[in-house]
Amino acid sequence: MFLTQADGLIMGPISKLLGLLLNGIYELSSNLGIVSIGASIIIFTIAVRLCLLPSMFKQTRSSKIQQFIQSEINKINKKYRNKKDQESMLKQQAEVRELQDKYGVNLTGGCLVSIIQMPIFFALYNVIQNIPAYVTKVKDLYIPIANAIKNDTTAFEKLGEYKETIASLKIINMNNSNTNTIIDVLAKFDNDSWDAYKELLGGNGAVVDAINANMDKISDVYSFIGGINLAAAPGFALTAAFIIPILSLVFQYMSLNATPMQSSGDPTADATMKSMKTMMKVFPLMSFFVTVNVPAGVGLYWATGSLLSFVTSKSIHAYFKHADMDKIVEKSKEKAAKKIEKRKAAGKKTFAEKMAEAAYGQQPQQESNASRSNITNSKLKSYTSSTMKTQSGTVKYREGSLAAKANALQKFNDNNGGKN
């Protein structure tokens, strides 16, 4: 039987994967004499950010190219400035997308960085909530204590008095033959809990000796700068641990403001970006309240990640500030041309095209064909209007207009004798 690990179709596998990575990092750092899980979390965060770096770089490059072609986008926007009908808006969006595709601009690519953060955050929460379930060397520190409790009926019964801890773990059957279940309970102990448990046992015996032999080592594992317990939530108490939510708030704000938002030229996308900008002002405050109530180790990951995000954003922008944008744009244009040619040959559509079709239906040309197909394959009841009563042949309808479609329906109905 394994120690308690997170279950669930999504969070379970992700938690296990992060646990394996954290276990490997801790194994390496402990061999170098660094036994704090906090150091492993920082190294883990750096590893995750390095994996996300290519996506951040591509997103920034797309933003810079977008600025480079903004004058062309402005021409398209000016062309459709006073046209608010759906057909014109679709054409405007299509032309902007076509221009962006031409230069290889993909403003949605950076969404990966934001999307992937939340599963990692929640999965890491599961891991840090029960470190021994994922980190082998930490589990080994609990085994001597758990074995001593197994062999001492009184000690096991006293452990059962920690009913709130047992209930929080959702342990249904607590028995002294299950070492892993005992470790699950012990992993929730802080220093005060260890001292109280020893007092319940009279302050002596094999279990107390095992606790005394390993408690300092266990404390060192979870301890961070200033004696912060990374397995416990900081709460709103003015302790050393409270600095982690504060740093998370500050670094998150710095990170989100490191990259100014640029106009995409697409009215729909710009409206979305404005909404996101408003949300961004609230997000750092939300991260503060979240990290106050989760284990400090999770807050450490969040604060470290935000700081690294700020540093990498500034570094990437500094690179592009001194780079030859003409060469970058030309190279991106050539690469995009090959990609478009390959996509057309395969008959595939871009993500933006699929989203547009989902929101508005097919493009105007496709919509027109679909309308004609529906007319020839349907039988409709009689449709009359003051406009359609004029059938002298002198009336002309603008192609694709509602009147033209209605006239076509009327003719179809007349040809079929008004029958269903």
Nearest-angstrom CA–CA distance, 101 and 254: 31
- Mean predicted confidence (pLDDT) in 44-60: 86
Task: Say yes or no to pLDDT of 411 above 70.
Answer: no
DSSP for 100-137?
HHHHT--TTTTHHHHHHHHHHHHHHHHHHHTGGGT-HH
In the predicted model, what is the mean pLDDT of residues 381-397?
Answer: 44
CB count, 10 Å around CB of 398? 8
Residue 50 tokens, joined: 């390095």
407 has a pLDDT exceeding 70: no
Q: Average pLDDT of 69-93?
A: 83
Least confident of 7-16, 25-34, 378-387: 378-387
Alpha-carbon Rg for the chain, nearest whole angstrom, is 32
CA separation for the pair 349, 340 (Å, rounded): 10
pLDDT at residue 51, as a whole number: 85
Closest by CA to 110, choosing from 313, 393, 369, 281, is 313
Q: Which of 48-52, 255-259, 345-349, 371-375 has the lowest mean pLDDT?
A: 371-375
Q: Which of 87-101, 164-178, 300-314, 341-355 has the highest mean pLDDT?
A: 300-314
pLDDT digits (tens, 9 = 90+) for 331-386: 888 888 888 888 778 877 765 566 666 655 554 444 434 433 343 343 333 333 44
Structural domain boundaries in the chain: 362-415
pLDDT in tens, 282-317: 888 888 998 999 889 889 999 998 999 899 989 998
User: 239 — alpha (psi -120 to 50), left (phi > 0) or beta?
Assistant: beta
In 193-243, where do the E strands start and end? 223-224, 228-229
Q: Give the pLDDT confidence score for residue 364 in this predicted structure.
A: 45
CB 298 within 8 A of CB 233: no
* Strand, coil or helix: 263: coil
Cβ distance 251 to 310 under 8 Å?
Answer: yes
In the chain, the amino acid numbered 369 is: N
**Mean pLDDT for the chain?**
77
Please, which pLDDT band fits residue 393 given cuts at 50, 70 and 90?
very low
Q: What is the pLDDT of residue 390?
A: 43
> What band does 249 get if pLDDT is binned at 50, 70 and 90?
very high
10-19, 65-74, 411-420, range with the lowest pLDDT: 411-420
- Please give the model's pTM, rounded to 2 decimal places: 0.70
Least confident segment among 51-55, 163-167, 198-202, 263-267: 263-267
Ranking 110-119, 123-132, 224-233, 291-300 by mean pLDDT, the lowest is 110-119
Cβ contact 181:250 at 8 Å: no
Distance between CA atoms of residues 394 and 385, nearest Å: 17
Query: How far is the C-alpha of 134 from the C-alpha of 27, rounded, in Å?
Result: 12
**How much of the chain, in percent, has pLDDT values that exceed 90?**
15
More confident: 161 or 352: 161
Q: Report which of residues 245 and 100 the model is more confident about.
A: 245
Model confidence band, residue 142 (pLDDT cutoffs 50, 70, 90): very high
Residue 350, pLDDT score: 66
Residue pair 420/388 in contact (Cβ under 8 Å)? The answer is no
Among the listed residues 2, 420, 11, 409, the one whose alpha carbon sits nearest the alpha carbon of residue 181 = 2
